[in-house]
């Protein structure tokens, strides 16, 4: 995408960005308290805000919803937490399905704090302000890094800067795909170049690259571009696949020979779930047409049975490791799946139908599934309320590791990954 850079007098320019300054803006006044209030920042797919809000209200009933824009929410923590405790907070530990990223807030940078003589957002001042906020939590640690290292004491330094924008549209609308934007790359470059020396000393060697994956345990400074002139600054510690990438946005591209966009969600799902799919792993892809999900499996060397009444793309059909079982899943004889261990499913049906079909399959004595990776389609967002029940149901089939997440490449749907461990033969 061509890069719109900084405009001459004000801040960042956004390509095709609608004016959202008043849209869906909600703010609650924080409750009065003597300790400085702490906040957590979340991004999610546009449209999933309510689902995420309800999840947080369930998981953290003492936190208070504070502020939201489409694709972005903040919550006020019930009490002040130490840096170590704040570093332990992340999407996996909160078991959130609809959060794409989660960070602890250090503060907001807007025209209110950083304006020029004419009252416009002043980017140069804003860059300085971001580093002041970073220093408020990590400054002393970074300055004393060398001494601490010599004494063998653990220090908290910022290893890289994660810059990302909240989603500009609902996924799929006008072909929109969430991802790292040119504005995020540009702001990242400016922040990297203006970082004070004590922070630069602690940066990872590849921190110059916004999309370089962070290492587990590293601390990242988060700068969320909520508006052209409103950035929210925070931090998180890397703990899983998604938190390695700015805003949980991995730089996956659709290969030119991919037969469908579904390739991306299964590629992301396989990386996130860390399912050990390798050469000769026996997999079933239910709802396989035209074949994107199967391609993600075939690329790992798996043997794939693709179930679908519809046509499979000739490229996938011609693959020596692929077999098309033409028909609906409930019309096929179960003994066909006796040797299969991994089941991926992506049927364009209501969640309960997908769950019924999977249950019917995996509960049979002659089918021995190790893992399931499947989408649940929310034709209506009200299905989001039933996610805890869906997860309970999958666990009741004997899958003891069950996770669900709305992936970057999921549209109005979620991905569920379920494992039965230890694996049986």
Ligand X SMILES: C[S@@+](CC[C@H](N)C(=O)[O-])C[C@H]1O[C@@H](n2cnc3c(N)ncnc32)[C@H](O)[C@@H]1O
Query: What 3-state DSSP class applies to 190?
Result: helix
**d(C-alpha 264, C-alpha 286), whole Å:** 17
Task: Please report how close the Cβ of residue 262 comes to ligand X at its closest, in angstroms.
Answer: 3
* Residue 148 half-sphere exposure toward CB, CA atoms < 13 A: 12
Q: Which residue has the tokens 């039965």?
A: 420
**Contact (CB, 8 A) for 114 and 126:** yes
Find the binder of ligand X among 178, 234, 291, 351 (CB under 6 A): 291
What does residue 98 show for φ and ψ, rounded to 5 degrees?
A: -100, -5
Find the binder of ligand X among 80, 136, 348, 396 (CB under 6 A): 348
- CA end-to-end span of the chain, whole Å? 48
**Contact (CB, 8 A) for 410 and 375:** yes
Find the binder of ligand X among 171, 180, 226, 262 (CB under 6 A): 262
The beta-strand segments (E) located in 93-209 are 101-110, 158-165
**Contact (CB, 8 A) for 149 and 131:** no
- Of 201 and 331, CB closest to ligand X: 331
Does 310 sit near ligand X (CB under 6 A)?
A: yes
Does 71 sit near ligand X (CB under 6 A)?
A: no
**Contact (CB, 8 A) for 268 and 256:** no
- Of 234 and 292, CB closest to ligand X: 292
From residue 79 to residue 118, what is the string marking binding to ligand X with x (rule CB under 6 A)? ----------------------------------------
**Contact (CB, 8 A) for 131 and 264:** no
Task: Please report how close the Cβ of residue 45 comes to ligand X at its closest, in angstroms.
Answer: 18
7 contacts: CB under 8 Å, gap ≥ 6: 13
Find the binder of ligand X among 172, 309, 388, 398 (CB under 6 A): 309
**d(C-alpha 184, C-alpha 226), whole Å:** 11
Task: Please report how close the Cβ of residue 328 comes to ligand X at its closest, in angstroms.
Answer: 4
Does 306 sit near ligand X (CB under 6 A)?
A: no
From residue 270 to residue 289, what is the string marking binding to ligand X with x (rule CB under 6 A)? ----------------xxxx
- Could you say which DSSP state residue 244 is in? G
- Of 76 and 377, CB closest to ligand X: 377
- Could you say which DSSP state residue 240 is in? S
Find the binder of ligand X among 167, 198, 218, 346 (CB under 6 A): 346
> Contact region for ligand X (CB under 6 A) — 87-95, 215-223, 230-238, 304-312?
304-312
- Of 70 and 287, CB closest to ligand X: 287
CA angle 410, 414, 419 (to 5 degrees): 115
Applying CB under 6 A, the site for ligand X has a residue count of 20
374-to-93, 107, 346, 362 alpha-carbon distances in Å? 22, 38, 6, 13
**d(C-alpha 129, C-alpha 136), whole Å:** 11
Task: Please report how close the Cβ of residue 226 comes to ligand X at its closest, in angstroms.
Answer: 32
Task: Please report how close the Cβ of residue 170 comes to ligand X at its closest, in angstroms.
Answer: 18
Task: Please report how close the Cβ of residue 410 comes to ligand X at its closest, in angstroms.
Answer: 12
Find the binder of ligand X among 114, 161, 347, 415 (CB under 6 A): 347
> Contact region for ligand X (CB under 6 A) — 107-115, 136-144, 182-190, 305-313?
305-313
Task: Please report how close the Cβ of residue 325 comes to ligand X at its closest, in angstroms.
Answer: 9
**d(C-alpha 259, C-alpha 267), whole Å:** 13
Task: Please report how close the Cβ of residue 261 comes to ligand X at its closest, in angstroms.
Answer: 8
Does 354 sit near ligand X (CB under 6 A)?
A: no
Query: What 3-state DSSP class applies to 138?
Result: helix
Does 290 sit near ligand X (CB under 6 A)?
A: yes
Does 293 sit near ligand X (CB under 6 A)?
A: yes
Question: Which residues sit at the interface with ligand X, rule CB under 6 A?
Answer: 260, 262, 286-293, 307-310, 328-329, 346-349
């Amino acid at each position: 995408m061509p890069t719109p850079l900084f405009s001459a007098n004000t801040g960042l320019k956004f390509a095709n960005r609608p004016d959202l300054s008043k849209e869906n803006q909600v703010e609650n006044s924080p409750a009065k308290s003597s300790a400085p209030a702490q906040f957590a920042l979340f991004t999610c797919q546009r449209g999933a805000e309510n689902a995420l809000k309800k999840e947080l209200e369930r998981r953290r009933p003492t936190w208070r919803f504070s502020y939201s824009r489409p694709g972005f929410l903040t919550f006020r923590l019930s009490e002040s937490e130490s840096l170590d405790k704040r570093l332990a907070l992340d999407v996996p530990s909160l078991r959130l399905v609809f959060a794409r990223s989660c960070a602890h807030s250090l503060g907001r940078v807007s025209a209110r704090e950083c304006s020029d003589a004419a009252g416009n957002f002043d980017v140069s001042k804003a860059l300085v302000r971001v580093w002041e906020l970073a220093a408020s939590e990590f400054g002393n640690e970074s300055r004393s890094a060398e001494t601490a290292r010599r004494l063998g004491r653990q220090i908290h330094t910022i290893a890289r800067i994660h810059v990302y924008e909240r989603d500009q549209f609902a996924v799929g609308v006008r072909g929109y795909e969430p991802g790292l934007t040119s504005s995020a790359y540009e702001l990242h470059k400016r922040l990297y170049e203006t970082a004070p020396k004590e922070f630069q000393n602690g940066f990872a060697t590849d921190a110059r690259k916004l999309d370089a994956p962070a290492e587990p345990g590293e601390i990242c400074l988060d700068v969320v571009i909520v508006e052209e002139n409103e950035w929210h600054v925070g931090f998180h510690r890397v703990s899983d696949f998604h938190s390695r990438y700015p805003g949980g946005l991995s730089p996956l591209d659709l290969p030119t020979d991919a037969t469908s966009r579904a390739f991306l969600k299964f590629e992301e799902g396989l990386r996130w779930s860390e399912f050990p799919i390798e050469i000769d792993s026996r997999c079933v892809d239910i709802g396989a047409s035209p074949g994107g999900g199967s391609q993600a499996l075939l690329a790992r060397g798996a043997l794939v049975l693709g179930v679908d009444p519809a046509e499979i793309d000739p490229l996938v059909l011609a693959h020596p490791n692929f077999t098309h079982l033409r028909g609906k899943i409930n019309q096929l004889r179960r003994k066909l799946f006796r040797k299969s261990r991994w089941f991926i499913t992506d049927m364009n049906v209501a969640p309960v139908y997908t769950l019924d079909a999977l249950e019917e399959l995996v509960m049979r004595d002659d089918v021995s599934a190790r893992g399931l990776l499947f989408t649940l389609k929310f034709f209506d967002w009200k299905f989001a309320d039933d996610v805890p029940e869906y997860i309970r149901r999958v666990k009741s089939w004997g899958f003891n590791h069950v996770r669900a997440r709305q992936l970057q490449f999921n549209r109005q749907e979620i991905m569920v990954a379920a494992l039965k461990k230890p694996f049986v033969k």
